[in-house]
């Protein structure tokens, strides 16, 4: 019975509503301010571009979209739009607004979107946005706002999207974002901020996407983004001074997408990002990064896309993407790469998209895996092309036929050229060079191993020179042994052993201990360039030894002499001091009968003369 009544009432109400809508639509009673166009069907009023100096009166109360953009409005007064309870979207962009009174939007309790783009606002007073309890989107970009004051947005508890870019913002007050409980996306662009507003951002606990562009920052300090546990996407771009990410700068974040582009990073920020195990998208494009190092990205186990476009990449080391089993897109176009080896990847089977164009690619065996997959891989419409060797210069990968491949994408294994034996026997302290030159295609890299099979670097006493020569300076006895030169390229390795025998001073030929001009080197093999003839290479040669010993002796003598002189003057200067010392003693009574001691026994003292 009761349900029946409700249903009947509903039907009547619906019919009434239909009729009213029809009447409103048909009749001409929908009020429309002069100079505006009103569209009843879509509940829209267009007052855009009508040279309005003030907000017109008499809008239909059911209007949902009011477009007041491109006029000359200067101020909005209190309760300016009261009565438009159904208004859904209000566009005030491209006016001359410099002043919005508090509670200007009071009464717009259904407003979802408010656009105040490109006006002349310098400040937003606390209370301007009061009453906008349903607001979801707010655009205040392109004004001249200098600071966001505390509690500016505190009544916008439904706001999800805030566009605050292109202001002159120099400061965001720590409490500015208080109350934005629902904010999911915040964009700050072209601000004059010189640091990340960490404190203010930490209020935004629902934030999912944060975009910071054109900030004048050079360092991202530790813990820049605290308490943003819901943040999934962070974009920092166009910060030409940004060159450092502190090692804990991104700690506390759990991102799935990270972009740091158009900045001044010179290395991939391995440490700051290594905890982002849910990261799927990483974009470091347009940074002067030269190398992606081996085995340092393995923690990003869910990474699917890696972009480093327009960088300065010359090398991606084998193993760079080891552990990244989900990597399916690699976008490294416009770099300085000559190759991309298959061993870079965990497994190339998962790779779907590869942008490798605009790189000076050397089409040899290292790129054979790419060209073999050229029909399966998605090059995103940009075919890679060869820069060398000469016979295929400029040719795109899709131009090669299957039959031509084995003869084109070839390598020559590394081969060490001069295999003349090199044995050096030297005295301790000499400098020795061992040569190693190799050819191959691609040109091989040369490394040396110590007798203990340790790697030798390009610095230190024992080092590799840039031309592959091994240099042992001030040879020590313990340097003796067999050194191994290893030349390697993608097609193969070659190695070559040399010997070094260093004799210490104790075992030298004692029949000629101090040969003028340095030690004699018994065997200087032609292959080993032993700088024995150059006495300067040996820091402790005979001359030096003699000089050192002489100097040492001389300095000893002179110290003794100085000491004596000093003592003499000291004793002379103390003129008043007695030059004798009188020592009293108690004679032993038992000695009284003694012979020689009896004469001094009475006095009990004797006198010594001092210098
Ligand atoms: C609103 O009016 C302006 C100026 O007459 C016009 O350029 C614009 O296209 C109109 N917008 C709509 C949605 O009709
Ligand atoms: C208001 O009108 C302008 C054209 O004059 C248009 O570009 C703008 O998108 C309109 N705003 C809305 C919210 O439709
Ligand atoms: C902000 O930076 C712009 C240039 O990017 C400059 O013109 C403007 O004067 C700066 N504003 C302040 C307040 O520093
Ligand atoms: C940005 O900061 C650098 C120093 O870090 C300064 O030299 C430069 O003038 C600043 N640029 C602007 C537009 O404020
Ligand atoms: C960041 O934190 C790490 C580890 O606590 C510390 O080693 C480093 O010096 C800090 N960097 C800065 C710029 O404070
Ligand atoms: C970027 O860094 C390099 C040194 O790493 C420096 O020479 C250059 O001035 C920096 N660029 C800017 C815009 O700060
Ligand atoms: C991190 O984000 C992922 C994906 O959004 C989510 O599954 C995971 O639970 C989050 N982890 C933590 C600790 O919040
Ligand atoms: C690769 O990067 C460029 C530049 O950022 C972009 O235009 C292109 O869409 C990217 N390609 C893919 C497949 O993501
Ligand atoms: C290698 O370079 C060093 C100096 O860098 C030079 O002394 C040596 O002669 C060079 N050796 C060869 C074989 O070119
Ligand atoms: C060359 O040597 C490296 C180790 O130095 C080894 O990993 C690689 O498999 C070798 N390559 C060939 C073709 O023998
Ligand atoms: C020591 O030197 C003499 C010549 O001065 C030479 O005859 C002799 O063979 C040398 N002995 C050794 C062990 O080198
Ligand atoms: C040995 O080194 C000297 C310079 O110390 C150099 O002038 C000479 O050419 C080198 N000899 C050989 C065979 O490379």
> What distance in angstroms lies between residue 304's CA and the mean position of ligand 6's atoms?
30
Do 521 and 430 contact (CB within 8 A), yes or no? yes
Cβ of 278 less than 6 Å from ligand 7: yes
Distance CA 287, CA 265 (A): 5
Q: What is the pLDDT of residue 505?
A: 74
552 confidence band (pLDDT: 50, 70, 90): low
What residue segments make up the domains of the chain, in order of their start? 29-216, 413-507
Task: Please indicate whether residue 529, judged by its CB atom, sits closer than 6 Å to ligand 12.
Answer: yes
Q: For residue 522, what pLDDT is reported?
A: 38
Ligand 3 contacts CB of residue 533 (under 6 A): no
Which of 14-18, 117-121, 258-262, 595-599 is predicted with the least confidence, judged by mean pLDDT?
A: 595-599
Q: Which is the closest atom of ligand 8 to the Cα of 305?
A: 14
Probe ligand 10: pick from 493, 494, 495, 496, max atoms within 8 Å of CB?
A: 493
Nearest CA to ligand 9 atom 4: 465
The pLDDT value given to residue 24? 46
Centroid of ligand 12 to alpha carbon of 528 (angstroms):
9
Ligand 10 center to residue 603 CA distance, Å? 99
Task: Tell me how far apart the alpha carbons of residues 610 and 219 are, in angstroms, rounded to a whole number.
Answer: 76
pLDDT tens sequence across 75-112:
999 999 988 999 999 999 999 999 999 999 999 999 99
d(CA 503, CA 350): 58
* Residue of higher predicted confidence among 489 and 236: 236
Q: Is 201 exposed, middle or buried (0-12, 13-18, 19+ CB in 10 A)?
A: buried
Q: Looking at residues 426-441, what average pLDDT do you find?
A: 92
Architecture of domain 29-216: Alpha-Beta Horseshoe (3.80)
What tokens does 610 get? 């001092």
Q: What span, in angstroms and rounded, lies between the C-alpha atoms of 150 and 126?
A: 8
Residues 6+ apart with CB under 8 A from 555: none
CA separation for the pair 60, 45 (Å, rounded) = 9
Mean pLDDT of the chain: 84
If you measure from the C-alpha of residue 347 to the centroid of ligand 7, how many angstroms do you get, rounded to a whole number?
Answer: 26
How buried is residue 424: exposed, middle or buried, by Cβ count under 10 Å (0-12/13-18/19+)? buried
Per residue in 213-231, pLDDT tens? 999 899 999 999 989 999 9
Give the mutation target among 246, 249, 251, 272 for probing the ligand 5 site: most ligand atoms within 8 A of CB: 246
d(CA 289, CA 604): 95
The predicted pLDDT at position 23 comes to: 44
Distance 46 CA to ligand 1 centre (A): 6
| pLDDT value of position 18 | 46
Reported confidence tier of residue 504, pLDDT bands at 50, 70, 90: confident
d(CA 312, CA 267): 10
Ligand 9 pocket mutation pick from 446, 467, 530 by most atoms within 8 angstroms of CB: 467
Q: Whose CA is nearest to atom 5 of ligand 3?
A: 192
Of 405 and 303, the structure prediction assigns the larger pLDDT to: 303
Q: Say whether pLDDT at 427 is over 60.
A: yes
User: Which residue has the CA at smallest separation from atom 11 of ligand 7?
Assistant: 254
Omega before 414 cis (within 30°)?
no
Pairing of strands 529-530, 432-434: antiparallel
217 touches 239 (CB < 8 A): yes
Q: How far apart are the first and last CA of the chain?
A: 139
Q: What is the percentage of the chain residues whose pLDDT exceeds 90?
A: 63
Q: If you measure from the C-alpha of residue 225 to the centroid of ligand 2, how many angstroms do you get, rounded to a whole number?
A: 36
172, β-bridge pairs: 148
Residue-level pLDDT at 600: 46
> Of ligand 6's atoms, which has the minimum distance to the CA of residue 241?
14
Would you place residue 61 in the very low, low, confident or very high pLDDT band (cuts 50, 70, 90)?
confident
Ligand 11 binding pocket mutation candidate from 425, 506, 509, 522 (most atoms within 8 A of CB)? 509
The pLDDT of residue 486 is above 90? yes
For 353-363, what is each residue's pLDDT tens digit?
999 999 999 99
Which region among 332-346, 390-404, 515-529 has the lowest average model confidence (pLDDT)? 515-529
Q: Among 235, 230, 322, which Cα is nearest to 278's?
A: 230
Rounded to the nearest 10°, the torsion over CA 192, 195, 196, 199 is -110
Give 287's Cβ-side CA count (13 Å radius): 26
With a Cβ cut-off of 6 Å, ligand 6 is lined by 240-241, 243, 264, 266
Q: In terms of Cα–Cα distance, which of 336, 345, 389 is closest to 369?
A: 345
Integer CA distances (angstroms), 177 to 102, 115, 147, 250, in order? 18, 19, 12, 21
Kindly state if the Cβ of 195 falls inside 6 Å of ligand 12.
no
Nearest ligand for residue 50 CA: 1
CA 376 – CA 166 distance, rounded (Å): 44
Closest residue CA from atom 7 of ligand 12: 529
Decide if pLDDT at 597 tops 80. no
Identify the residue with better confidence: 591 or 286: 286
Q: What region does 567 belong to: left with phi over 0, alpha with psi -120 to 50, or beta?
A: alpha
Residue 605 confidence class, pLDDT cut points 50, 70, 90: low
**Residue 407, pLDDT score:** 84
Ligand 10 pocket test, pick from 488, 491, 492 with the greatest ligand atom count within 8 Å of Cβ, gives: 488
Q: Which residue has the higher pLDDT, 564 or 472?
A: 472
pLDDT at 30 (0 to 100):
73
The rounded distance, in Å, linking the Cα atoms of 142 and 129 is 18
pLDDT at 199 over 80: yes
Rg (CA), the chain: 44
**520: how many CB neighbours lie within 10 A of its CB?**
11
Element (H, E) at 488: strand 481-489
CATH superfamily of 413-507: Immunoglobulins (2.60.40.10)
> Which pLDDT score, from 0 to 100, does residue 28 have?
44
CB count in 10 Å sphere of residue 531 = 18
Q: Which ligand is nearest to the CA of 229?
A: 7
pLDDT digits (tens, 9 = 90+) for 365-382: 899 899 989 888 999 999
Q: Would the pLDDT of 430 be above 50?
A: yes
CB 110 within 8 A of CB 86: yes
Average pLDDT over residues 34-56: 91
User: 488 CB less than 6 Å from ligand 10?
Assistant: yes
Give, for ligand 8, the residue of 286, 328, 355, 358 to mutate: max count of ligand atoms closer than 8 Å to Cβ.
Answer: 355
C-beta of 48 in contact with ligand 2 (< 6 A): yes
Ligand 2 mean position, distance from CA 162 (Å): 19
Sequence-separated (6 or more) residues with CB below 8 Å from residue 567: none
- pLDDT of 327 reads 95
* Angstrom distance (rounded) from CA 350 to CA 442: 27
Return the percentage of the chain with pLDDT > 70, whole number. Answer: 79
Q: Count CA atoms closer than 13 A to 465's CA, side-chain side.
A: 12
Question: Ligand 11 centroid vs 505 CA: distance in angstroms?
Answer: 14
In short, whether 511's Cβ falls inside 6 Å of ligand 11 is yes
Tens digit of each residue's pLDDT (9 = 90 or more) over 512-545: 444 433 343 433 333 344 433 344 444 455 555 6
pLDDT tens digit string along 144-198?
A: 999 999 999 999 999 999 999 999 899 999 999 999 999 999 999 988 888 899 9
């Amino acid at each position: 019975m009761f349900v029946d009544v409700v249903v009947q009432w509903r039907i009547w109400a619906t019919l009434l509503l239909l009729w009213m809508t029809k009447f409103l639509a048909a009749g001409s009673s929908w009020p429309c301010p002069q100079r505006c166009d009103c569209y009843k069907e879509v509940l829209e009023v267009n007052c855009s571009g009508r040279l309005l100096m003030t907000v017109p009166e008499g809008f239909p109360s059911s209007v949902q979209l009011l477009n007041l953009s491109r006029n000359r409005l200067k101020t909005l007064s209190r309760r300016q739009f009261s009565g438009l309870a159904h208004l859904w979207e209000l566009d005030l962009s491209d006016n001359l607004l410099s002043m919005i009174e508090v509670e200007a939007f009071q009464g717009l309790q259904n407003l979802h979107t408010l656009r105040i783009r490109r006006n002349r606002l310098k400040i937003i007073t606390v209370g301007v946005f009061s009453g906008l309890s349903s607001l979801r989107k707010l655009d205040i970009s392109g004004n001249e706002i200098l600071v966001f004051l505390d509690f500016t947005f505190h009544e916008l508890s439904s706001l999800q999207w805030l566009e605050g870019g292109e202001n002159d913002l120099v400061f965001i007050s720590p409490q500015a974002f208080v109350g934005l409980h629902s904010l999911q996306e915040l964009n700050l662009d072209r601000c004059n901020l010189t640091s990340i507003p960490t404190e203010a951002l930490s209020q935004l606990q629902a934030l999912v996407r944060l975009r910071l562009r054109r900030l004048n920052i050079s360092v991202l300090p530790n813990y820049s983004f605290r308490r943003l546990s819901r943040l999934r996407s962070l974009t920092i771009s166009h910060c030409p001074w940004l060159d450092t990410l502190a090692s804990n700068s991104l700690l506390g974040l759990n991102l799935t997408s990270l972009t740091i582009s158009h900045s001044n990073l010179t290395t991939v920020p391995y440490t700051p990002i290594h905890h982002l195990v849910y990261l799927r998208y990483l974009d470091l494009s347009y940074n002067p990064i030269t190398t992606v190092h081996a085995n340092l990205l393995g923690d990003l186990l869910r990474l699917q896309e890696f972009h480093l476009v327009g960088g300065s990449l010359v090398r991606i080391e084998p193993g760079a993407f080891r552990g990244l089993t989900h990597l399916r897109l690699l976008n490294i176009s416009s770099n300085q790469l000559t190759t991309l080896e298959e061993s870079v990847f965990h497994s190339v089977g998962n790779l779907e998209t590869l942008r490798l164009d605009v790189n000076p690619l050397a089409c040899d065996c290292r790129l054979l895996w790419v060209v073999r997959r050229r029909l399966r891989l998605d090059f995103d419409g940009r075919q890679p092309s060869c820069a060398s060797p000469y016979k295929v210069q400029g040719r795109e990968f899709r131009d090669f036929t299957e039959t031509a491949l084995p003869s084109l994408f070839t390598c020559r294994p590394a081969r060490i050229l001069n295999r003349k034996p090199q044995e050096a026997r030297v005295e301790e302290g000499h400098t020795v060079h061992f040569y190693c030159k190799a050819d191959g295609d691609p040109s091989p890299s040369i490394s040396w191993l110590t007798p203990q099979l340790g790697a030798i670097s390009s610095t230190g006493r024992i080092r590799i020179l840039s031309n592959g020569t091994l240099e042992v300076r001030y040879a020590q006895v313990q340097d003796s042994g067999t050194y191994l030169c290893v030349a390697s390229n993608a097609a193969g390795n070659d190695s070559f052993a040399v010997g070094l025998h260093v004799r210490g001073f104790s075992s030298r030929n004692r029949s000629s201990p101090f040969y003028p001009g340095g030690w004699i080197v018994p065997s200087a093999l032609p292959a080993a360039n032993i700088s024995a003839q150059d006495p300067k290479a040996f820091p402790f040669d005979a001359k030096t030894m003699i000089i050192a010993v002489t100097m040492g002796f001389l300095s000893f003598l002179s110290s003794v002499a100085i000491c004596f002189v000093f003592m003499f003057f000291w004793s002379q200067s103390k003129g008043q001091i007695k030059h004798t010392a009188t020592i009293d003693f108690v004679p032993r009574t038992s000695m009284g009968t003694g012979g020689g001691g009896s004469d001094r026994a009475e006095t009990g003292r004797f006198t010594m003369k001092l210098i």
